[in-house]
Amino acid sequence: MGSSTRSPSRSEPLAGATALVLLAGLLASCTSLRDPAGAESGLPPFYRRVENAGRVEEQVLYPLFRQIRDAEGRQTYVFPLFWDREFTSADGEWHDRDWALLPFFFGGSETYEGDYFLFFPFYGNLKGILHKDEMNFALFPLYLDTTERGYDSTHLLWPLISWGEGDGKEDFRFLPFYAEREREGRSWGRSVLWPFFSWGEEDLDTEHPVDSFFAFPFYGYRESDISSTTTWLFPFFSHSENADGWYETNLFTPVYRREEGPKDSAFRIWPFYGESRDGDDLRRWWLWPLFFQNHVTVPEGTLDSFQFLPLYRQTRTTAPDGRTLREVVRLWPLARRTERADGTAWFGLFDLYPFADDGDFDANWAWLWTLFEARTGPEGWGVNLLSGLFCYEEEAEDAALTLLWLLRIPL
């Protein structure tokens, strides 16, 4: 007997998936209330374009694809497999390009250094990477050679065996058995059965040369006529001090630390409490990693923050004249409020991402979980329910109403 039940068409699942993707895009069309200070366009997360001071960034399904263009050049990223960066000087005389198809292929070219290419781990020629003028390898880590400002080195079974000479430097190592290092007129060092026994001298070209010895883990020291460090049974005890009155003591590292100096200080009993001071900057924590409090200097002025991870975070940026430039308060995952010096403020309900501060992640994906959002400011105001179920925006003499995610009505 034949069955009358119709077999589902192969195209039906595809059609359903396509409809869901299109619906998500339409929902995102009223992703968040527009920022009058920015120049953004697109349909996040499918496409977003941001322009600022000659810099243009385009994003597709962030962070999958990003492209950044400005007066210096172009950067393209396809997370996590590919990146391509290209820069040219204003006069056009210098050009640099670097690209990678992770984890196997790297390449690029530079006006003065030439071309390079890498097929990891079989063969590679790199230039201007890792502070080296040039690096060549074959079947890494079996063979590697480097050049850096007249110093040439060869490595076998990196990092176990190597030797090098040039520019007043000499090195040889056959780890773990023996290693030596010479810097003409500046320093020297020896190691036997590394890391157990090592000794040497440093800063020989200064008024305060340093002598060092370490028999790991039992005893070690670094001494000069103005400073000293002593270690016993590492990491159980170490003490350092210098002629300026600074000292530091560590017990059962990282459990206890005490540091005092003319400009900085630190104290730690991990994981219960810790603090550090550097000039006017102060950092504190309690019951690490739960509570953090910071007061630090930033280019705009000062940044004060308090965090109870992951539930609460408050940050405030203050100008040198005392004006609050920006303040963000998050009560995760319930709400978030952001306020700027120009009087613009945002308020949102239900915020699942506890770390971003109105960054790219929020701009592309916050519509997925934002129940309600409101903006007020000198340029206007607006409210947004369920990312476009009901969205009203008013700016200067213009106003618009969005209903049911799809219907936008100019008012």
CA geometry: angle at 13 spanning 10 and 19, to 5°? 135
Domain ranges (residues) in the chain:
175-270
Instruction: Render pLDDT for 6-32 as a digit per residue (tens, 0 to 9).
Output: 444 444 545 554 555 445 445 444 545
User: Which residues, 6 or more positions from 326, have their beta carbon under 8 angstroms from its beta carbon?
Assistant: 315, 316, 317, 338, 339, 340, 341
pTM exceeds 0.85: no
- Looking at residue 66, what is its pLDDT? 97
* Residue segments in the chain with a per-residue pLDDT below the cut of 70: 1-38, 354-358
List C-alpha distances in Å: 295 to 185, 257, 301: 43, 21, 11
Strand partners, 267: 258, 275
Note if the bond before 289 is cis, omega within 30 degrees. yes
DSSP state of 226: S
Cα–Cα distances (Å) from 90 to 73, 74, 95, 153, in that order, read 10, 14, 10, 36
Could you read off the pLDDT of 126-145 as tens digits, one per residue?
887 778 899 999 999 999 99
Tokens of 4: 């009358």
